[in-house]
Structure 1
Amino acid sequence: MADHEARAQVDAPADGIPTIRWEEPPEGPVLVLLDQTRLPAEEAEYVCTDPPSLVEAIRTLVVRGAPVLGIAGAYGVALAAARGFDVDEAAEALAAARPTAVNLARGVRRAQGAYHRALAGAASVAASTGPDAEDSAGTADQVALAAAVAALAAARALHREDAQASDRMAAHGLALLGELLPGGGHRLLTHCNTGALVSGGRGTAFALARAAHDRGQLRRLWVDETRPLLQGARLTAWEAARAGMAYTLLTDNAAGSLFSAGEVDAVLVGADRIAADGSVANKVGTYPLAVLARYHHVPFLVVAPVTTIDPDTPDGASIEVEQRAAHEVTEVTSPSAGGAGGPGGGMSVAPLGTQAYNPAFDVTPPELVTAIVTEEGVVSPVTAEALSELCGRS
């Protein structure tokens, strides 16, 4: 495939949602993000001209969701190389921006590895030609350019692969739903946001719900609003409305009454990290849904790419869970002002000085997970051996 064809394939946004794209204006390359903190009030763009601005965008949730964080991390390395920053320093800052999401560090390391391999290769070629002193500066520039091009190519490749993985996850998940819930007319409950906003394609769990909708098999999508930053209310509902899906928003603590009334056929969630034993770290509030699902004999499905499985994390207790600022709980911020801004930016809903427990994620043990759906197939029952075999195949 020619480079311009690959670029067009990557930059075409899924469902018209321009979540992330690389641009090269005359003043230098930039990474353009759809600012998710401002949705649904406005579709504003956030332009990153350097690695620190991208780190800030990741930390403040301008861009969020495990798969797209991997893509952003890879593009961040390419941005550092193209703009003349210290690539390794930028890579470390990017990888540490959100510690729970394993895809972020993996995307960073992939582009960083491509950069260094190209750097070494180009330097070796240059040395073998034996340039004189007058040409040495030009040769150094050529070596740096070759390495920057390689980092960008790695980021673009990851972007394409994630889009393809999204479609394959949806196909595998749709087949599984057909086995678990024959007859269609599914009433599916989801938590947080797992659509095109978190992916190079249509997403993870939301992509499966969207596939059911496209086949006429979705009766209702129940959308948890997802406290405290309302990713379900602000983002998933926004995507569902754009897709013309039948959806209903509910407060997180109303889910139990839906299960009790028999109104949920299956739960679909994504993942930010899956440990080697099958423990799943996902947006806080996921674990209670898994407990409810088990009690009410409802399938609980985790939809995530293989890159989210981390064999180096042995179990759920080993997953580092990000703790976020108290003001996200003690204040309510208007989406138009940025939903994850700094303290004092919103209306206080708790007495001044109130302490808040605000983990970004919780961990669901494998015994509560009916199946993990990946682009390489379905793992059920969820065991360390089955995950290891899946990772070995992929």
Structure 2
Amino acid sequence: MQTEATLQAIRYQRGVLSILDQLKLPDETVYISINTADDAWKAIHTMSIRGAPIIAVCGVLSVAVELHNSKSKFDSISSVTQFVTDQLNYLVTARPTAVNMTDAAKTIINFLTPLHIKQKNLTIYIDELLDFMEQFLQRDLIGNRLIGQYGAATICRNNSNKKKLNILTHCNTGSLATVGFGTALGVVRQLAANNALQIVYFTETRPYNQGSRLTAYELVHDRIPHTMICDSMAGLLMRTQPIHAVVVGADRITANGDTANKIGTYQLAVLAKHHQIPFYVAAPTTSIDLTKRSGDEIIIEHRPSSEMTTIKGINLAPEGVQVWNPAFDITPASLITGIITEHGVFQPDELEEKLLGLQQSLTSPL
């Protein structure tokens, strides 16, 4: 298995950013240059790049590239601060459900004021800001590997028969949705690396087919044993095959543990509950939004009807058909066994307390 040669959704060096155009997969492997925040906004909005963690990294690095390549137009630290703040706030609007871009924007904006107080030299100020923004790249990869380790250890520990595991996942949560390794698919990768995985089942994930286009592409590339199913087959699969856990990603998790994820996640959680199968959510803590008390407060993005009525320009439904196409649904915390993060696995009802305690310990002086 080729865990170290996983696909790259994003390529970056200072001043140069490109992303793998996921709209063209699996037929073509094409990288798009991202030179401005506007380029990134369009790529995120059209889903040329998708997945909550990678959206944030792409957004942040697009601002870094634009800032680096237009240094000469800034005549003051204040003008840099205003530019970065405006561009980050603009990027937040590209896709409203995923919280990671919002969290990244807040983190960087909060970094600007103390940096301004400390550093009065414009050139050094820009360089230190670029250094800080570039940290998001490596931080995501490190976090993903920890999610994989914690998730694999927890699922194996709770596997009473000690046989190799059959896992079911949904959408795409791997190297194409993150800087590398993945969240839910990172757990699968780690299980495979530990020789603890029998097979991973994954849904095609209609209507955008992130499973059949992207997850399939990754699993074939990494030679991980797998089987794809239609979204409507999950119930029968759980009833007739031993499924040891369902593991999905998240675009936003609220304080009470309610989780927004790709449409179809909620029904998998209901089915898992009925069949007494553990249901895990794997996500970095940047996907946790403590400003929202429950899933009722999450804005659900609705996508164009054409995503349901056509595939690659071929009509699947008659012209004029009425369509309802929410991109995400909310899985109540009561259906979730555990939330796998880079800091460990938490019960939904302890998530807020543990996360606040963690934040306090990280900010407290030694």
TM-score, with structure 2 as normaliser: 0.89
CA contact (8 A) 1:14 1:201 kept: no
Distance 1:122 1:177, change over 3 A: same
1:71 lines up with 2:57 in the alignment: yes
Give the C-alpha shift of residue 241 in structure 1. Answer: 0.9
The counterpart of 1:207, out of the listed 173, 186, 192, is 186
**1:271 match:** 250
Matches within 5 A, 1:314-325: 314-325=293-304
1:242-291 residue CA offsets vs partner (Å, 9 max, x unmatched): 11111011110111110111332210100000000100000000000000
Q: Which AA in structure 2 matches 1:80?
A: E
Q: Which AA in structure 2 matches 1:256?
A: G
The whole-number CA distance in structure 1 between the counterparts of 2:322 and 2:205 is 20
1:203-256 residue CA offsets vs partner (Å, 9 max, x unmatched): 101011111111211111101000011101111111111111110111101111
CA contact (8 A) 1:114 1:147 kept: no
Q: Which AA in structure 2 matches 1:371?
A: G
**2:328 match:** 361
1:165 lines up with 2:143 in the alignment: yes
1:122 lines up with 2:113 in the alignment: no
**2:48 match:** 62
**1:34 match:** 20
Percent of pairs with identical residues: 35
Q: Which AA in structure 2 matches 1:374?
A: T
The counterpart of 1:105, out of the listed 102, 105, 108, is 102
The counterpart of 2:314, out of the listed 333, 336, 347, is 347
Gaps of 5+ in 2: 74-82, 360-366
TM-score, with structure 1 as normaliser: 0.83
The whole-number CA distance in structure 2 between the counterparts of 1:391 and 1:309 is 11
How well do the aligned residues superpose, as a CA RMSD in angstroms?
1.8
Give the C-alpha shift of residue 70 in structure 1. Answer: 1.7
Give the C-alpha shift of residue 386 in structure 1. Answer: 3.5
CA contact (8 A) 2:37 2:59 kept: no
1:393 lines up with 2:355 in the alignment: no
1:72-128 residue CA offsets vs partner (Å, 9 max, x unmatched): 1221221332244833321121011111111111123333444554445433xx5xx
Q: Which AA in structure 1 matches 2:137?
A: H
**1:10 match:** none
Q: Which AA in structure 2 matches 1:292?
A: L
CA contact (8 A) 2:256 2:351 kept: no
Q: Which AA in structure 2 matches 1:63?
A: I
After superposing the two structures, state which structure 1 stretch, 110-119 or 261-270, moved more.
Answer: 110-119
The whole-number CA distance in structure 2 between the counterparts of 1:158 and 1:374 is 16
**2:229 match:** 250
1:371 lines up with 2:338 in the alignment: yes
Distance 1:214 1:21, change over 3 A: same
How many residues were matched structurally? 345
The whole-number CA distance in structure 1 between the counterparts of 2:49 and 2:292 is 25
**1:309 match:** 288
**2:196 match:** 217
After superposing the two structures, state which structure 1 stretch, 106-115 or 361-370, moved more.
Answer: 106-115
The whole-number CA distance in structure 2 between the counterparts of 1:253 and 1:276 is 31
The whole-number CA distance in structure 2 between the counterparts of 1:150 and 1:323 is 38
